[in-house]
Chains A and B, each alone.
Chain A
Amino acid sequence: MWIATIFMALRELRRNVMRSALTTLGIVIGVASVIAMVTLGRSATARVTQDIASLGQNMLMVFPGSDRRGPVSVAATPFRMDDVRAIEKEVGDLATVAPTSSKSELIVYGNANHTTAVYGATNTFFVVRSLKIQRGRDFSDAELAGGNPACVLGETVRKELFGMQEALDSSIRVGAVACRVVGILEAKGQNTFGQDQDDFIVMPLTTLQRRLAGNSDIGMMYVSVAEEKAIARTKARIQNLLRDRRRIQPGQTDDFNVQDTKEIAKTVSSVTGVLTALLGAVAAVSLLVGGIGIMNIMLVAVTERTREIGIRLSIGALASEVLMQFLVESIMLCTLGGVIGVSLGLLGSYGATRALSMPFEVDPVIVLVAFFFSAAIGIAFGYLPARKAARLNPIEALRHE
């Protein structure tokens, strides 16, 4: 009888292909959007985590300024080269310390000009930021020590200024300083938030300090830790050392901030996680609306098919069999919509992740949940109409026009 009921339901749905399709459309859209939202959210999270991991493993970033969020606190005292040397000398377990400072400058070559970020750094900067030099070289010791005007270009800057021309060994103007191009970086493309990761140039820290900034400030430090286990310990040591050097009294808050990349990854992915949940919830509402659409149509169908129900009852169908028939119809509509919705959702989010160059991360659990949820909607919203059908009085149902 089960098979017969399913066939009966299928035949009924086929008899009204158009109506069945329109009815199930709500479920299709609902399931597809849930799947697409959750999949995109997961993919974005994966991408963010990847991006942050590419900043370097076991890394601490030390910024001047307090950890307090919101309005930026008063101009924080920058670090000095002494601080860098102190960290190198007094904190153990370190691989490298990369002090940097940055400034925004207009860069000119011939008729072309481009405003970009200029990083003053040592060669360790390339290591901790995983930057590869595609052509040319990094800075020589003489350049680093003497504050010579040499620079390494990011791909975007190279393209903006030189286009098809050879950039290596050319002389460009950075702010008011003429500067020789000694290297070109490998392109990294956009990050998750659509930021260009190739739009900057690097020059020796001393050059930036002396010739562009006119001071000896260090804007931030990348501290690479030898092994993962030592991160927490190193972080605490750096904090103590800097508190000491910056004369912060016990009880006062730090006027600097040590972050590790794992923490940042955790924070960012918790944000994207919340976003995913939010989008998923909105999509789930549309699934609910789809379910109500099903109930609506099924209720209309029961009225429209009153006479048919009367015929079935007079022939000897039990009330429970009529109930089952309508319930099965509703469940089939919904699961059909679920299958189509899952396919559409996966297809759509696959396309979107490709377009945004994100990894395609499917959560099999959410696929199963969306599918079974749509079947559950079929039961929940199909039950009322089905019960209405089953409770009809055969005599009155037959008389129904």
Chain B
Amino acid sequence: MQSPPSEADSLIELRDVTKIYGHGDAEVRALGGVSLRIARGEFVAIIGASGSGKSTCMNVIGCLDRPTGGSYQFRGVEVAELDLDQLALLRRHYIGFVFQGFNLLARTTALENVELPLVYKRVPAAERRERALEALRAVGLDGREHHAPSELSGGQQQRVAIARAIVSDPSIVLADEPTGNLDTARKAEIMRLLIDLNRSRGITVVMVTHEPDIARWARRIIEFRDGLVLRDETNEATEA
């Protein structure tokens, strides 16, 4: 049983967040007043049907998008007030992304893919390489550093993506349908890896999925419907 996160621990705090796309008749209310708090070290699954607002919420949490209304504090910083460059800097230093489609740079080796976030963080080349190799080891890909994505299986590609997400020691890893393109055995592998990283490194993981099986791996499940939080509960019976 997890105690409710205290104010000090909270990494993410949404208060009555709305997100509206379009104007007038074409107006779409993707988020209709969402409030939630995620503490450091949590492993959260966000579930919901498509159009439920879960992806929009993920984009807002990931600082890829700003809320239309309400307040979103990331590490105590009010995100709604930041400009695009400041959002990019937040992503650069504190957020790692894992996507359903892996989103690796084609014709670029695993090592170079993992090094990319460190390039933008101005980490010197030698240290960059060392940290990228370490991250690839952490996801169990030693020996594959110089393979291009096309030479790796789907599961391996997603491991490279995870290595890229954790290489800059982010506060949070956001995973958008991380297992969506994988078979059952690979799904379990990836989930185990994410949980392992969550436990051993204390990285907060927020994962969006539409598969209940996958959500069950998480300690906390938040369900969205029609742009609102329908259910937010701690999962007693995690599979890990």
Contacts and interface: CB of A to CB of B under 8 A. Distances in A.
A137 interface: no
Interface string B39-68: 000000000000000000001001011000
B85 interface: yes
Nearest to B107: A15
Nearest to A317: B120
Most chain-B Cβ atoms within 10 A of its Cβ — which of A4, A307, A320? A4
Contacts of A265: none
Contacts of B59: 395
A318 interface: yes
B37 to A, nearest CB: 24
Contact of B105 (A4, A311, A313, A317): A311
A24 B90 CA distance: 38
B89 A314 contact: no
B77 interface: no
Most chain-B Cβ atoms within 10 A of its Cβ — which of A4, A316, A394? A316
A260 interface: no
Interface in B111-143: 112, 116-117, 119-122
A108 B121 CA distance: 90
B120 A395 contact: no
Contacts of B72: none
A313 B116 CA distance: 11
Interface in A9-25: 11, 15
B147 to A, nearest CB: 15
A398 B85 contact: no
Most chain-B Cβ atoms within 10 A of its Cβ — which of A8, A312, A314, A318? A314
A344 interface: no
B85 A395 contact: no
A142 interface: no
A4 B119 contact: yes
A394 B120 contact: no
A4 B123 CA distance: 10
Contact of A394 (B64, B92, B107): B64
A318 B103 contact: no
A187 B85 CA distance: 76
Interface in A292-316: 307-308, 310-316
Contacts of A316: 88-93, 95, 117, 120-121
Contact of A308 (B62, B95, B105, B121): B105
A312 B116 contact: yes
Nearest to B99: A398
Contacts, number: 58
B84 interface: yes
Nearest to A315: B117
B44 to A, nearest CB: 19
A15 B108 contact: yes
Contact of A319 (B64, B84, B104, B106): B84
A311 B106 CA distance: 11
A314 B108 CA distance: 18
A74 interface: no
Contacts of A398: 99, 103
Nearest to A401: B101
B97 interface: yes
Contacts of B104: 311
Contacts of A311: 103-105, 116
A365 interface: no
A318 B59 CA distance: 17
A399 to B, nearest CB: 9
Contacts of B93: 316
Contacts of A314: 62, 64, 91, 97, 103
Given A4-B119, A395-B64, A307 B103 contact: yes
B120 A310 contact: no
Contacts of A310: 103
Contacts of B92: 315-317
B233 to A, nearest CB: 28
Contact of A315 (B107, B108, B120): B120
A307 B103 CA distance: 8
Contact of B120 (A15, A307, A321): A321
Contacts of B62: 314
B116 A1 contact: no
A400 to B, nearest CB: 11
8 contacts: A15-B107, A311-B104, A314-B62, A315-B120, A316-B117, A316-B120, A320-B85, A398-B103
| Those 5 A-B pairs whose CB atoms lie nearest each other, nearest first | A316-B92, A316-B91, A315-B117, A15-B107, A318-B88
Interface of A: 1, 4, 8, 11, 15, 307-308, 310-321, 394-395, 398
Given A1-B122, A316-B89, 9 more contacts: A312-B116, A314-B91, A314-B103, A315-B92, A315-B164, A316-B88, A316-B117, A316-B121, A318-B89
